[in-house]
Homo-oligomer: A and B are copies of this chain.
Amino acid sequence: MKDDIAILGAGLVGSLLGIYLAQKNKYNVSIYERRPDMRLMQGSAGRSINLALSDRGIKALEDVGIMEDVKNICIPMHGRQIHNADGTQTYQAYGKEGQYINSVSRGELNKKLMDLAEAHGVEIFFEKKCEDINWKNNEVHFSGNNNMETISPDLIFGSDGAYAASRLSYQLNHDRFEYHQTFIDYGYKELTIPAGENGSFLIEKNALHIWPRGNYMLIALPNIDGSFTCTLFFPYSGDPSFESLDSKKKVDSFFKNEFADAYKLMPGITEDFFNNPTASLVTVKCFPWTHEDKFSLIGDAAHAMVPFFGQGMNCGFEDCLVLNQLWEAHQGNWTEILPKFQESRKPDADAISDLALANFTEMRDKVADEKFLAQKKIEAAFSTAYPEQWTPAYSMVTFRPDMRYSEALNKGMAQQKIMDSIMSAERDTSWEWNETTEAKMKAALQ
C-alpha cells in the first residue's frame, strides 16, 4: 500500500515538491491549499513581486524534467538597467556573456506548476485552511467550505509560506522551538508600466530596471504581454514615505520629480498607489524544521526572506532538489532523510536570508555609486582573467548552483575584505583594473 503524503500549501514550492514526490511512484501525494483555485480566478492579487528565476531554481525544475514547460513564460534579464536620478542610465551585466536571470510572473508560474503536479497524479484540494496539527496522531485539521475535516497522512510537508499555519502549530506544541520573525522598516507596493502598442516593451525588455534613490528604490521586471511589473520599496515613515505621501497630488509630484522617465510611462500611478496594498517585508528564521519522520517545513515556511537577492523561490526549489538527493541517498528512509535535510539546509537558508537583507542596501543605494561600480568592474575583470580564483558574490549565489549558499556567503565575505582594502586606496591610483590591482588581489588570495 502506498504511503500518504500531505503537502500543505499549493504555492510554488508545494506544487514542485508534489511533482518530485509523485515521480517516485511510491506515494499518494495530496496538496491542501487554503485559497480557492487561482486557475479559476480572474486577475491578479496585485501584491506579488515578479520573480527572478535563476540557475538554482532552474536546476531543480530541470531535475524533475519540467523546465521546458516553464521556459515559455520566462523573459531573460541579462543585467541591471540603472535609471539614475540625473536622468542618465547605466547598465551592469549580471554575470558573464550568456548568463542571465529570468523574469516570470508568480501567478503564471504557480498555475503551470499546479497543472504539472496534477498531470503527475497529485491531487490538489482547495479552500482547506490548516487550523491545527495533532502532533501525536499526525493529523491535520482543516476548516473551509463550512465544515471541519481531518486527514491522517503518513508524512506531512508544511510548504504554507512565510506565515505558515503548520509552523505556528509547531511553535505552539513543541518546547524549545527557535523562532524569529523580523521586519525591515520598508514596505513595498506594486505599480505598473503598461505595454506599448501591439504589446511592445516601452523600456529595455531584457533587463531588470532599477531606479536607486539612496533610501528607497523603484524596480521593474518585464512581463510577456509587454508590460512591466514595478515595485516601489519605500520607508513606512519619515520623509518621503508611505506615511508622508498621503494625497494623489503628493504622489503625482513625487513620482514626477524622483522617477521622471518612469513617471511618463505610468499613467495610472496615483490610482495604483492608493488602490494597491502596502505590504511588509519579513525575515523568518526557525529551528527545528522537522518532527520525527512525519513532518518537515520547506520553502518560505522554513525560511522566509526579503526579496532583494531574488532567491526566495530559487531557495525553495533548491530545498526540493536537496530533499530529493537525500531521498535517493537514503532510499526513501524518511527517518534518515528529514534530520539530514534540516541539518544540511538550515545554514544555507540562514546564509541566503542574510545576503538578501544586505543586498537591499546594494540595490537601493550602492548601484548608483561610482566606487561600487568601479569595484564591480575590477572584480569582473579579475574573474575573467582568473575564473578559478574569483567569482563575484552575486554570481556565486545566482549562477553557481553547485556551490552552497553558505559557501557563497563565506567566500563573498572574504572577497569583500580584499576589495575593501583595494578600494580604500586613493581613487586615481587604484580604482581600476591594472597591473597593480591585479598584483594586490593575487597577493591577497595567497
Contacts and interface: CB of A to CB of B under 8 A. Distances in A.
Closest 6 CB pairs of A and B: A176-B183, A180-B180, A179-B181, A176-B280, A175-B280, A178-B182
A237 to B, nearest CB: 11
A236 B176 CA distance: 11
A254 interface: no
B176 A179 contact: no
Contacts of A177: 181, 183
A177 B175 CA distance: 22
B179 A180 contact: yes
A273 to B, nearest CB: 19
A217 to B, nearest CB: 20
Contact of A178 (B168, B175, B178, B183): B183
Contacts of A236: 176
Contacts of A179: 179-181
Contacts of A175: 280
A28 to B, nearest CB: 32
Contacts of A182: 178, 180
17 contacts: A168-B172, A171-B181, A175-B280, A176-B183, A176-B236, A176-B280, A177-B181, A177-B183, A178-B181, A178-B182, A178-B183, A179-B179, A179-B180, A179-B181, A180-B180, A180-B181, A180-B182
Nearest to A279: B175
Interface of A: 168, 171-172, 175-183, 236, 280
A24 to B, nearest CB: 33
Given A168-B172, A176-B183, A176-B280, 10 more contacts: A171-B181, A177-B181, A177-B183, A178-B181, A178-B182, A178-B183, A179-B179, A179-B180, A180-B180, A180-B181
A402 B236 CA distance: 36
Contacts of A171: 181
Contacts of A183: 176-178
A179 B304 CA distance: 14
With most chain B CB atoms within 10 A of its CB, the pick from A168, A175, A280 is: A175
A177 B182 CA distance: 7
A176 B168 CA distance: 16
A172 B167 CA distance: 12
Contacts of A172: 168
Nearest to A282: B176
A28 B175 CA distance: 37
A148 B176 CA distance: 30
A280 B236 CA distance: 37
Nearest to A171: B181
A385 B172 CA distance: 53
A278 B176 CA distance: 12
Contacts of A280: 175-176
With most chain B CB atoms within 10 A of its CB, the pick from A172, A176, A183 is: A176
A110 B95 CA distance: 65
A183 B174 CA distance: 12
Nearest to A181: B179
A183 B168 CA distance: 17
Nearest to A236: B176
A16 to B, nearest CB: 28
A236 B177 CA distance: 14
A168 B173 CA distance: 13
A180 B182 CA distance: 8
Contacts of A176: 183, 236, 280
